[in-house]
A and B are shown apart, each in its own frame.
Chain A
């Protein structure tokens, strides 16, 4: 699971930098090889499932069966996950110096990576896009059974 999420987030690695990516792949102690991507990935996935279920089954409003209402929920989900991603990575209390030292040792004495607080916001943006992907996939998986909104964002096939 960690690898799946790691590969997904790596698509946006250019946004939040290699230093943070390395930290998330290997954890605070690289020697332990603890993948942290699964935590934030799973959290984003659960939030996306909740928002999609909210849209298709809880609110399930007859007038929300449009692409733009769906887009509002997509945007809301992505925004929530942006905040969650940003705050989650901020809450990890990464000891930048220590982390970098260990990374340095692994990298053969070179300070190849750097992590700065702005990367946290960038990671929030990465989470924004990953959760957008989750929401789209989940939407198309569950929409058929929605009574009022199964045609949102659009009809894929004639449904009979």
Chain B
């Protein structure tokens, strides 16, 4: 089995990684071509960026839940199945010499001779030179291309290169309209393809590399105190695309482009703990490109470009029916399974923890079990992280209105635009859910631990219910 290294560059990289974590929790399959471990590596000098810290927190919660589950051949659960490995401390890539430094200090302008200083001042504005590296490159790829050029010298890069094995793949997430991602992606790709000094260069050079380039999908409110101006996003994106056209082709196997022409106006902050944007549909689609890349085989050196399309006549609101069949079955179906699981925990908490639920009969000391740290972590992930993430996408622009949150008490009316089928059964609503849960519990691996039994029975029950009620 192989690993998929994911370099998430900048704030967009972190947010896409967060969406990918939710997809993995839903059980979206990434193992069609032998990938069984995801290794996220976040490259962002802005360590205090709330988008980044939130993603790291989500990744940690995912891993904490997963380490309490086992996935034997007899266990059919797919929720949390994919392993996420933290080869770097906190999934973060340490950039050398960026901590609490101005860009001018980083390039050591003071030690340059007069001619070089003049050249540097011609290339970088006063604002650029006075930029604090702690908050990223503030939409300035010219700074990023200098700072990130030393990426290969970091000990963390050595950790990555040493751990790289035959069959492993690499994926790079970046935005094209900011600073960190726009500059980091081509530099990183160049390093991976051409820098012969790195460990395992032969393997890395011959590995499949994919990337998603996120084009502008939000705007920023006008803020005179901020160094970032969203009116430059389009022109920056155009310049970067022109550069990619000439320099990327042939070095990468799959290049995904995701974009939108309806923007939400985010608060304009210079990184740090105030940069905490709601999850966005574009980030989910970008995450799905990683799934697509992982599940396909790519011919080395043959660059293929991909775009994501929705069905026609899509308005500001996107719902289940606006996606094509493959996306519905590969991505949305597992998500809906996890929505059913999460809503059940959220709305029927007291019942599912009681002895009345027959499925609990094979759980050792179910009363203690439902108060265990594992169940609390799981419940928190489902009800706060996952449903919260869906809620963010719902209120963002363009809205992803996948679920009806106000109808959460009716479990099968949750999918916007989809009417659940009536079944020939004496049970309906959550009673039907519990009936299927009690049925599927009998098919679970009886020798497994309570943690595994719990998640497996919910996986099997929701799988059966989405088939019966929605014909997925």
Contact = CB atoms under 8 A, between A and B. Distances in A.
Q: How large is the interface on B (under 10, 10 to 19, 20 to 34, 35 or more residues)?
A: 10 to 19
Interface in B282-336: none
Interface residues of A, number: 17
A148 B437 CA distance: 9
Interface string B398-440: 0000000000000000000000000000110001001101110
Interface of B, helix, strand, loop or mixed by DSSP: helix
A62 B441 CA distance: 13
A29 interface: no
A147 B358 CA distance: 8
Contact of A160 (B357, B362, B427, B438): B362
A63 B431 contact: yes
A62 B427 contact: yes
A62 B431 contact: yes
Nearest to A149: B358
A65 B358 CA distance: 7
A56 to B, nearest CB: 11
Contact of A59 (B426, B438, B439): B426
A150 interface: yes
B434 A148 contact: yes
B250 interface: no
Interface in B349-377: 351, 355-358, 361-362
A61 interface: yes
Interface string A55-72: 000111111011000000
B446 interface: yes
Nearest to B364: A158
A32 interface: no
Given A59-B426, A62-B431, A148-B435, A160 B446 contact: yes
B358 A66 contact: no
Given A148-B435, A159-B362, A62 B426 contact: no
A3 interface: no
Contact of A151 (B351, B361, B426, B431): B361
A61 B427 contact: yes
A147 B431 contact: no
A160 B362 CA distance: 7
Interface string A26-41: 0000000000000000
A61 B439 CA distance: 12
Contact of A61 (B355, B426, B437, B442): B426
A147 B426 contact: no
Contacts of A65: 355-358
Contacts of B437: 62
Contact of A148 (B355, B438, B446): B438
Contacts of B439: 147
Contacts of A147: 358, 435, 438-439, 442
Contacts of A160: 362, 446
B358 A150 contact: yes
A148 B358 contact: yes
A36 B356 CA distance: 42
Interface string A6-35: 000000000000000000000000000000
Contacts of A155: 361
Contacts of B362: 158-160
Contacts of A60: 426, 435
Contact of A66 (B356, B361, B438, B446): B356
A22 to B, nearest CB: 47
Contacts of A149: 358
A19 to B, nearest CB: 47
A159 B361 contact: yes
A158 B360 CA distance: 11
12 contacts: A61-B431, A62-B356, A62-B435, A62-B438, A63-B356, A65-B355, A65-B357, A66-B356, A148-B435, A150-B361, A151-B358, A151-B361
Given A61-B426, A63-B356, A159-B362, 20 more contacts: A60-B426, A60-B435, A61-B431, A62-B427, A62-B435, A62-B437, A65-B356, A65-B357, A65-B358, A66-B356, A147-B358, A147-B438, A147-B439, A147-B442, A148-B434, A149-B358, A151-B358, A151-B361, A158-B361, A158-B362
Report, nearest first, the 5 A-B pairs whose CB atoms are least far apart: A62-B434, A160-B446, A148-B438, A65-B356, A65-B358
